[in-house]
Amino acid sequence: MTDNYATAKECRPLFELMNQVKELAPWEWMEEMDIFGVQGPDAEEPDYVSVMGMAGEHFAVALYPGDRALTHLLEFEQIGPYGNPLDLLLIPQFQASFEDRNTLTDKDRKMLKELGLKYRGRNAWPQLRAQQPACVPWYIESADVPRMVRALEQLLVVAPRVKENPDVLIPAGSDAFLVRKATQQGDHIVWEEIVRTPSFSTEEGLMIELDSELMDTVYDLPEVSNTLEVALSMMPSPVSDDSGRPYFPYMFIVVESTSGMVMGMELLSPLPSLQAMWAEIPNQFLEQLAKVQVRPQVVHVNTELLASLLSGLEQLGIEFTLVEELPGVEAMQESLFGFLGGGLFEE
């Protein structure tokens, strides 16, 4: 188990602030998309605070770290009911939520008991969680505490003002957000309010290192006219790593389009990060081609992400085409089996 999890002593300020938030009940007048930013003294970008609970189901304060997380959230909300619910698991966030007692784990209850904190009733028990992309919400770490403290402190400042005047959160310019920004002045932190427009970018800026030996191997393979389909999809059921942290593995699959035959399949872990996993995709594909001993002329992918990740392999004479559907992959995912055979390729 990691030793970076926040201790009960470190979390005490958070629980004290959560008690104040619960008493204030800002979800009675703030909706989930009534968002404002909180920027620490050394932070390059704000974190974004969202209040949940107006629907009377899940009561929480969510914190989205930085512009990229905010952009993913806004895109998810814009798609609405037509989107994939699993995509919500890809948005990094922290939550300070109020749960029923039976929702808490033994670790949660032990922490509250150690601090001498007692609660009664439904939606009354505080719980702290960090949502890493493609992982089940998990315990926060020590490094997460300061930013969550800042968020709750500033919510207690902003929420009463929103109650009096909802326009506080609607600065001039529809793409701008109110941001509470902290600056260090001597021994003191001074807060000011600014209006800031996020970058609205989901670009990850990945560093991809192609395996030169694999590149040479695949370049020398016989070229075939068959179209391959390549897909990367998150599995719907979580598994746990050695530390016990649950995550959703990804299935990377290569299928021959006409026959639907599976040419390669690999389960990948989003730990330590999705970015690290994505950076390995080109070499994973090269390994699959090296195993089946062919170099395709055309490869179909169904996401811009995959098209971008694999674009560096175009120097091998492979054309990557973005398409809406991958019938071979979809059939395989439905049946969950396939066998590799010979005599398939046409030179």
**Domain positions in the chain:** 8-196, 212-335
The pLDDT of residue 172: 61
The pLDDT of residue 336: 64
CA distances from 215 to 120, 262, 287 (A): 62, 22, 9
Q: Are the beta carbons of 153 and 191 closer than 8 angstroms?
A: no
CB atoms inside a 10 Å sphere around CB 179: 21
- Amino acid identity at 284: Q
Q: Are the beta carbons of 128 and 14 closer than 8 angstroms?
A: yes
pLDDT beyond 90 at 126: yes
Structure token digits, residue 116: 């001498």
The pLDDT of residue 173: 60
Tell me the average pLDDT across 97-101. 98
Local structure of 311: helix, strand or coil: helix
Which residues, including other chains, have CB under 8 Å from residue 123's CB and lie 6 or more apart? 59, 98, 99, 100
pLDDT beyond 50 at 340: no
Estimate to the nearest angstrom the gap between the alpha carbon of 126 and the chain centroid: 23
What is the distance between the alpha carbons of residues 140 and 111, in angstroms, rounded to a whole number? 13
102-111 pLDDT, tens digit each:
999 999 999 9
Structure token digits, residue 138: 């998990």
pLDDT band at 288 (very low <50, low <70, confident <90, very high): very high
The pLDDT of residue 158: 98
Identify any residues that bridge with 185 across adjacent strands, giving them in sequence order.
188
Tell me the average pLDDT across 174-180. 91
The pLDDT of residue 333: 81
Residues composing the chain? 347
Q: Which of 304, 294, 218 is nearest to 261 (CA)?
A: 294
Structure token digits, residue 120: 């009664």
pLDDT beyond 90 at 51: yes
First to last CA, the chain: 52
The pLDDT of residue 135: 96
CA distances from 61 to 14, 16, 97, 119, 200 (A): 12, 14, 6, 18, 22
Q: Which stretches within the chain are classed as H helix?
A: 8-24, 66-79, 106-114, 145-164, 212-219, 274-279, 281-292, 304-310, 327-335
The pLDDT of residue 13: 98
196-233 pLDDT, tens digit each:
999 987 767 788 999 999 999 999 999 999 999 999 99
Q: Are the beta carbons of 100 and 122 closer than 8 angstroms?
A: yes
Specify the higher pLDDT residue, 347 or 294. 294
What is the distance between the alpha carbons of residues 28 and 269, in angstroms, rounded to a whole number? 40
pLDDT beyond 70 at 251: yes
User: Percentage of the chain surpassing pLDDT 70?
Assistant: 95
Q: Are the beta carbons of 339 and 262 closer than 8 angstroms?
A: yes
Pick among 3.30.360.10, 3.90.1150.10, 3.30.420.10, 2.40.50.90: CATH of 212-335 = 3.30.420.10
pLDDT band at 1 (very low <50, low <70, confident <90, very high): very low
pLDDT beyond 70 at 313: yes
User: Percentage of the chain surpassing pLDDT 90?
Assistant: 83
pLDDT beyond 70 at 38: yes
Average confidence score pLDDT of the chain: 92
What is the distance between the alpha carbons of residues 73 and 270, in angstroms, rounded to a whole number? 19
Phi, psi for residue 193 in degrees, rounded to 5 = -110, 130
pLDDT beyond 50 at 156: yes
Q: Any idea which residue has 């990229």 for tokens?
A: 68
What is the distance between the alpha carbons of residues 193 and 37, in angstroms, rounded to a whole number? 10
pLDDT beyond 90 at 182: yes
Dihedral Cα 8, 12, 14, 15, nearest 10 deg: 100
Which H or E run contains 47? strand 47-52
Tell me the average pLDDT across 301-327. 96
pLDDT beyond 70 at 165: yes
